[in-house]
Structure 1
């Protein structure tokens, strides 16, 4: 254990190694397939058995399945397995890492959105939740060159493409499988096949081009019936929220946006048991959130309160960065003190993953865009453009079938690069034992969205359709916008929303470049 790790608290984390290590206080260790699984005391371990009672898998983390939030020691009885993975995986919601035997060797996949991350080092012969946990084995060497190339001095950053800021340490992306014997990573969804092998039209749904585990045994979804698809999504989210509430986890954050309000919509039948909160801070965006959320709360009689933002100290921000392995830093980082001081001691519900319904990185006309260039990908996600990021983006795009369209590629990028590389490591930043849980995050949820034609997705029809299944009256209040004379209080937000998305992204790139230049100038001055 390194001196830095020895002084740290690593809640919600785990370590997988060949030999047990001198773990942090309160951690426990379990052997599985010749590997030692070391878990922080609050991390559940779920067992997966076949119908004969044989052990066929272990799940580290928090799983919602069949209307229940599973507890430590619970057993999932799987009716069948495909390449070692329980066919039930398609319906698993939550934040977890799934371990199982593949050709009698340990293999790992993350939850569908990579909301509980896994990083690994072939040199250390180990995997873990974060680089911070790997440092219980040996101190890691920071890769400043790669870190600078991927962040360019930006104040808000996350490291995409499975990269970490440490030499020899990589992140397992969603839709990929890791075999720990040889540290080989393979894409398992969508499977990379050529058009000559499978007669794939560029406008096919992604659901038609994946023959590989863990999705190959899942029932196909007919994306042409929008009412049926959105009805299924509404039902899944509603069931997952009920599972959390019935287990005593009844707190949800409410903002002015689409995703958090959809949690409210899906909890309609349980509103009398729910508690809704909005962070209160002195900035325009947060004030608008409070204005809209407060208005909705009054209109529908919600149990609602505001939580006062607490400014973190430099030491607390530094500890947050350490716990996440310096892999992400943004507005969530600044909430570290607020989360600790207003700890609800439960899994708070988050709208993260809900925005997959609105294809968040599309530009108008993308449904007609046949291919996505490397530059196009980097610019949509506001990643710096340089030799390092270009090489990484090219390698990531090359994993997909050559005929995959730009829209489908962007939606998969949201899952793998945004959720897997931002939401996943962010989970470990706050020094609290319960992670937030998204009731959206499951493989079938993403498959349902990707089964819908790009033309329909581009029209933005999915979100209102889901609301109509759950609580249509919530659509009467505009998202992220004040109404009437209250608009005068939020003129800057009104103007911002009027700008085309391409123009807003261009402004962001310019501001980011200026900030990076200022940072470099400051560093040179210090030298």
Structure 2
């Protein structure tokens, strides 16, 4: 999707469309923009969203309902139920706030100086308009990790340009990031209630979405894609599956298992060979993607765009791993240390550790919300997922059907003990499409399963792996 936008005090005539609110100009080209102005209350939604409890509402209805709310808290609570890739701009009297979607898949990057303010989906544009240089610190942090790993906390590749992370909003008047969740005690919900509610929500959403979009579904031998397949069971007559593979690696389990499932269950399946991207093209994309390129994802997107499935949106299951609690297991909160959380960034820079320390201070709360869950949500999803989505956007159309705060908050309301002792994924599959359990899950990853069975072995192994790699 086209997600390019710019907000500033000065008008920029290089964009096709301009909308003004509270003396700030919103510029955009083909990005979908919906709005409703109700006196001093204005709501603008950039992108697309559906209300998971009332899927028949259109975007204007959603804007209208939020415009009638007198408090920011009401708007935030309402936004929990929105699914999709979007940004909410709320102006009330003389104040303006920006709320991102559940995982910030349309970035909110921001910068201000004495003359102007700039808010945009791309830091590259802000850097160009302000003559801001690339950050030496960020370049050093990036150099200490593999290219797929994101920057920590809310820093970007440019000096003085920050980005929003989940559970935060932007106070435009002060140009400051503000945490709004957690802000109250979280009530624990039963595993079975959350399981049934997830199925109910997804059944309603899929009925709505298949009427609007043509989908394809990437499938491997893993749990996440299998769960997504189970939830889409009633619509699979028009949803082809596909699996990427490298030439000469046709016996990979991630290709073999989907082929077995497709043949036995009579599903359409495409094996798509990855097409390498030329180095000159990759070099150009590096600049466009703010030095946050991921060559593997770009290859996947390009390969998909060259296939017969290029006209379809592909369903992504990236957000549901949080319900496995495979990141925090059932560890004591005392083990959510700076040292351990830093290892999970897979970055070996001292500057990276400094920003993880800032995040820990920001995340301090008395609302019984686990730091493990918050870190997984705000780092893995808040920094990793948007970067991956931006890479996919270059050549393909990812669709994040689980991108909903209501669902994420439901999942982390299950005790981490229950999340580790039971399999949320497999129990949904059992309810929706039990035949899918007859096929093996990740049969080639035996070593990983041995370590993950004992959570404390996994914890120690994570620390050991980090230190081994750090001194290489």
1:422 match: 384
- TM-score when normalising by structure 2: 0.87
2:228 match: 263
* Secondary structure, aligned partner of 1:16: strand
Task: List runs of 5+ in structure 1 lacking aligned partners.
Answer: 1-9, 192-206, 210-220, 482-489, 518-527
- Output the CA distance in 1 between the equivalents of 2:250 and 2:270: 18
Query: CA, structure 1 residues 272+402, in 2 after alignment: closer, same or farther (shift >3 Å)?
Result: closer
Comparing 227-236 with 241-250, which one deviates more in the overlay? 241-250
Query: CA, structure 1 residues 347+511, in 2 after alignment: closer, same or farther (shift >3 Å)?
Result: farther
**Residue 477 of structure 1 pairs with residue 443 of structure 2:** no
Match for 1:14 among 1, 5, 15? 5
How far did 1:293 drift? 1.1
Question: Root-mean-square deviation (CA), in Å?
Answer: 3.0
1:346-365 Cα offsets, whole Å, 9 max, x none, are 432101101111123125x5
1:356 match: 322
Match for 2:123 among 112, 131, 140? 131
Where do 1:110-129 residues align within 5 Å? 110-123=100-113, 125-129=117-121
**Residue 312 of structure 1 pairs with residue 277 of structure 2:** yes
Q: Given that residues 312 and 336 in structure 1 are in contact (C-alpha distance below 8 angstroms), is that contact kept between their aligned partners in structure 2? A: no
Task: List runs of 5+ in structure 2 lacking aligned partners.
Answer: 453-457
Match for 2:254 among 266, 289, 298? 289
How far did 1:110 drift? 0.7
- Output the CA distance in 2 between the equivalents of 1:460 and 1:162: 34
- Output the CA distance in 2 between the equivalents of 1:70 and 1:341: 35
* Secondary structure, aligned partner of 1:417: helix
1:215 match: none
2:357 match: 394
Where do 1:149-168 residues align within 5 Å? 149-168=141-160
- Output the CA distance in 2 between the equivalents of 1:417 and 1:105: 28
Q: Given that residues 45 and 73 in structure 1 are in contact (C-alpha distance below 8 angstroms), is that contact kept between their aligned partners in structure 2? A: no
1:484 match: none
**Residue 327 of structure 1 pairs with residue 317 of structure 2:** no
Where do 1:113-512 residues align within 5 Å? 113-123=103-113, 125-135=117-127, 137-191=129-183, 208-209=185-186, 223=189, 225-282=190-247, 287-327=252-292, 329=294, 331-342=296-307, 344-363=310-329, 365-366=330-331, 368-386=332-350, 388-403=351-366, 408-430=370-392, 432=394, 435-481=397-443, 490=444, 493-500=445-452, 501-502=458-459, 505=462, 508-509=465-466, 512=469
Q: Given that residues 93 and 442 in structure 1 are in contact (C-alpha distance below 8 angstroms), is that contact kept between their aligned partners in structure 2? A: yes
- Output the CA distance in 1 between the equivalents of 2:167 and 2:271: 37
- Output the CA distance in 2 between the equivalents of 1:15 and 1:511: 43
Query: CA, structure 1 residues 328+371, in 2 after alignment: closer, same or farther (shift >3 Å)?
Result: farther
Comparing 494-503 with 388-397, which one deviates more in the overlay? 494-503
**Residue 57 of structure 1 pairs with residue 43 of structure 2:** yes
Query: CA, structure 1 residues 448+114, in 2 after alignment: closer, same or farther (shift >3 Å)?
Result: same
Comparing 94-103 with 339-348, which one deviates more in the overlay? 339-348
How far did 1:471 drift? 2.0
Query: CA, structure 1 residues 470+61, in 2 after alignment: closer, same or farther (shift >3 Å)?
Result: same
1:339-391 Cα offsets, whole Å, 9 max, x none, are 4423623432101101111123125x51x3435111111113323251x2222
1:101 match: 91
Query: CA, structure 1 residues 455+417, in 2 after alignment: closer, same or farther (shift >3 Å)?
Result: same
2:78 match: 88
Q: Given that residues 17 and 35 in structure 1 are in contact (C-alpha distance below 8 angstroms), is that contact kept between their aligned partners in structure 2? A: yes
How far did 1:36 drift? 1.6
- TM-score when normalising by structure 1: 0.79
Q: Given that residues 323 and 412 in structure 2 are in contact (C-alpha distance below 8 angstroms), is that contact kept between their aligned partners in structure 1? A: no
Query: CA, structure 1 residues 150+377, in 2 after alignment: closer, same or farther (shift >3 Å)?
Result: farther
1:288-323 Cα offsets, whole Å, 9 max, x none, are 211111111112111221222100111222233223
Q: Given that residues 11 and 428 in structure 1 are in contact (C-alpha distance below 8 angstroms), is that contact kept between their aligned partners in structure 2? A: no
How many equivalent pairs are there? 460
Q: Given that residues 119 and 127 in structure 1 are in contact (C-alpha distance below 8 angstroms), is that contact kept between their aligned partners in structure 2? A: yes
- Output the CA distance in 1 between the equivalents of 2:387 and 2:147: 17
Q: Given that residues 302 and 396 in structure 2 are in contact (C-alpha distance below 8 angstroms), is that contact kept between their aligned partners in structure 1? A: no
- Output the CA distance in 2 between the equivalents of 1:339 and 1:311: 12
* Secondary structure, aligned partner of 1:108: strand
